[in-house]
Amino acid sequence: MRVAIDAMGGDFAPDEIVKGAIQAAKDYSEINLEIVLVGEKDKIVRALEQHGGKDLNIAVHHASEVIEMNEHPGVAIRKKKDASVVVATRLVAERVCDVVISAGSTGAAVAAALFILGRIPGIERPAIATPIPNLIGTTTVLLDSGANVDSKPKHLVQGAIMGSIYAEYVLNIPNPRVGLLNIGEEETKGNEQVLATYPLLKQLHTINFVGNVEGRDIPTGTVNVVVCDGFVGNIVLKVGEGLASMIMQLVKESIKASGFFTKIASMLVIPALKGLMKKLDDAEYGGAPLLGVKGGFIICHGSSKAKAVKNAIRVAYEFTEQKVVEHIRENIEEEEDIIIERE
Amino acid sequence: MRVAIDAMGGDFAPDEIVKGAIQAAKDYSEINLEIVLVGEKDKIVRALEQHGGKDLNIAVHHASEVIEMNEHPGVAIRKKKDASVVVATRLVAERVCDVVISAGSTGAAVAAALFILGRIPGIERPAIATPIPNLIGTTTVLLDSGANVDSKPKHLVQGAIMGSIYAEYVLNIPNPRVGLLNIGEEETKGNEQVLATYPLLKQLHTINFVGNVEGRDIPTGTVNVVVCDGFVGNIVLKVGEGLASMIMQLVKESIKASGFFTKIASMLVIPALKGLMKKLDDAEYGGAPLLGVKGGFIICHGSSKAKAVKNAIRVAYEFTEQKVVEHIRENIEEEEDIIIERE
């Protein structure tokens, strides 16, 4: 597998991106992995030397520009033809690489994927599928977690089909349970968007739709795939991140404040807390695939460090190996009657 | 203050409701509090006797019917004229009581408030304002947290004005910071609903609008009031509840699993955990007011136990004392130009 990595995208680029690539090259030696780091050659080569990656199987592909976080995605993609994310995506479009990874602007990543890779026939809106750890120790896939807002019912239906494939082939969940995120379990609950989506989901035959789910079902893991609009999904994700880090901080403060026994308590509890933090750490999950475009595209959190990048490379590998794009193409074709609006 | 409590609403009614009333009558003896429990007289009297509330200043007002959780709110309110929540709300409409508290069906509570109390002039959609504990130790008000879906921009603007008043007068936050829940901070981000709401909020002069906020700003307490559509607000709230209880369970399990030192660790950490749980416990916050109707209406979680009911009575007291309804009426009048659509 050949993976193109946008070495200039993210809060800690290029150093942490390069370090993640080095770790992956070392740790995943059993797979036939070729890494191509895309971005400013001098900076990348220097980082490779500095972090001991000079003699590994890591190629560097020069790109002279970088898209900043505050740029308008569509405009930036068209204007900066030599931006790292654009060049990396082009490597996949031209079949030089199999999959691209970026921790840069999510908007720019989605725009690059749409314009350069293009959509799978039948998919109007690609969706970001974010894996979330849940209470029962498995993973819940939330999609769309921010690629689109004001989605139409058929877009949510397309998301459901794609999310189910991702859960089945990449997360190894047979016959994944798919739920529609709503404010009640009854079919008659919700806003116009979900009320119109529910009957369409019921008609699908390639997914295991179990009905509406509520916010609490995401952390409890009642279902494997949670479908929602990108506006809702993005807010849910950020509430979760904020709350998880708030609670961890409160636990630590409580332990500190417990006075006399502080040191003993810390010694005993810190290993337990570390285990917990590992469970909740999104770096463990690497990246979230953008589903629905003609090629692999893994989007990483802007704050990704080496570990997240390394794990994203593993996700990229699974995504490619399991032929997710082909499965989406097949199932979307099979469900054509339901997802294509006749007006 | 006279408070009418729907004694039949909630998962643990009437016992926990009655126990909460008893605790309030005992603990809040410094305020001039008269409690009226509304519902099946026999059951309530029996509960009062059983829990030692016979000789307290608690009245019982008979109501023969109960609205169940699965009933259609609007239909149930019209059909069951002698339902506990209907009768309790009528006591406020007739000025026998100042405020009503219910832990029953939220839909039925909202319907009862709308049909029986009516809306404050200028308010088209009342909103539920839920207080949420945050990292900096204050409270963030989230509204609407489930009364309305598919809100129009002006409904969100009305919510912003009402939430600001609630934060200022009941939570004692001077000049509360109000944010619009969105998927990015920039004015150009978001779905159609929030994009159209932002410029309206900027024009208001009775609130301190600070711009867009993201999901993570709710637990971190960046702003005091977070405005959103009820579909989003309800999901955010339930994700938060689910995640908080999941993390607490994981912490407990981690400690249990830490083996040899289990008992010592538990002894040391459990007090710290209890402090934390108290902070996150929504029972501490009592209830969420329904803002925008002509009278006080406090909605409690369906799973409310005595402590939550007792605290809801305190919220009801503050709400009444601080004349929240009058302040809303005044400020809505002052902002008339912005919130009333001219088409």
SS (H, E, C) B172-238: CCCCCEEEEECCCCCCCCCCHHHHHHHHHHHHCCCCEEEEEECCCHHHHCCCCEEECCHHHHHHHHH
| B27: its two tokens | 């603990």
The residues spanned by each domain of chain B are 1-123+292-323, 124-284
Among all residues of chain A, which has the CA nearest to that of B137?
Answer: A250
Q: Which residues pair with B35 in a beta bridge?
A: B3, B58
C-alpha B230, offset from chain centre: 13
- Across the A:B interface, residue pairs with CB atoms under 8 Å apart total 172
Show which of residues 4-63 on chain B sit within 8 Å of chain A, judged by CB atoms.
none
Q: Domain spanning A130-285 has what CATH number?
A: 3.40.718.10
What distance in Å separates the CA atoms of residue A169 and residue A141, rounded to the nearest whole number?
13
Q: Which residues of B touch A180 (CB under 8 A)?
A: none
Residue to test with chain A: of B268, B270, B273, B276, most A Cβ within 10 A: B268
Q: How confident is the model at residue A206 (pLDDT cuts 50, 70, 90)?
A: very high
pLDDT over 50 (residue A343): no
pLDDT over 90 (residue B13): yes
Q: Under an 8 A CB cutoff, do A242 and B218 touch? A: yes
Q: Which of A122, A28, A145, A126 is nearest to A337 (CA)?
A: A122
- Average pLDDT, whole number, for chain A? 90
Q: Which residues of B touch A273 (CB under 8 A)?
A: 251, 254
The confidence score (pLDDT) of residue B112 equals 97
pLDDT tens digits for range A165-196: 999 999 999 999 999 999 999 898 999 999 99
Tell me how close the Cα of A278 comes to any Cα of chain B, in angstroms.
12
Q: Give, rounded to a whole angstrom, the gap between the first and last alpha carbons of chain A.
A: 43
Name the class of domain B1-123+292-323: alpha beta
Residue-wise over B189-213: b if at least 16 C-beta within 10 A, else e? Answer: bbbebbbebbebbeebeebbbbbbb
Q: How confident is the model at residue B281 (pLDDT cuts 50, 70, 90)?
A: low
The confidence score (pLDDT) of residue B343 equals 44
Helices (H) and strands (E) in chain B, counts: 13, 12
Residue to test with chain B: of A144, A148, A243, most B Cβ within 10 A: A243
Show which of residues 281-340 on chain A sit within 8 Å of chain B, judged by CB atoms.
none
- Do A241 and B216 meet the contact criterion of CB atoms below 8 Å apart? yes
The percent helix, strand, coil of chain B (3-state, each to 5) is 50, 15, 35
What distance in Å separates the CA atoms of residue A156 and residue A230, rounded to the nearest whole number?
9
Domain B1-123+292-323 shares a fold with domain B124-284: yes
| B262: its two tokens | 């289990």
Q: Give whole-number Cα distances, A124 to A130, A341, B262, in Å.
A: 19, 11, 54
Q: Domain spanning B124-284 has what CATH number?
A: 3.40.718.10
Nearest CB to A236; choose among B215, B229, B275: B215
Give the percent of chain B with pLDDT over 70. 89
For the ranges B64-73, B97-106, B200-209, which has the lowest average pLDDT? B64-73
Among all residues of chain B, which has the CA nearest to that of A241?
Answer: B216
Tell me how close the Cα of A252 comes to any Cα of chain B, in angstroms.
9
pLDDT tens digits for range B102-152: 999 999 999 999 999 999 999 999 999 999 888 777 889 999 999 999 999
| A37: its two tokens | 């780091």
pLDDT tens digits for range B169-215: 999 999 999 999 999 998 989 999 999 999 999 999 999 999 999 99
pLDDT tens digits for range B227-274: 999 999 999 999 988 887 777 777 667 666 666 555 665 666 666 666
Q: Domain spanning A1-123+292-325 has what CATH number?
A: 3.40.718.10
Q: What ipTM goes with this model?
A: 0.90
Q: Which residues lie closer than 8 Å to A267 by C-beta, 6 or more apart? A: none
Q: Which residues of A touch B237 (CB under 8 A)?
A: 215
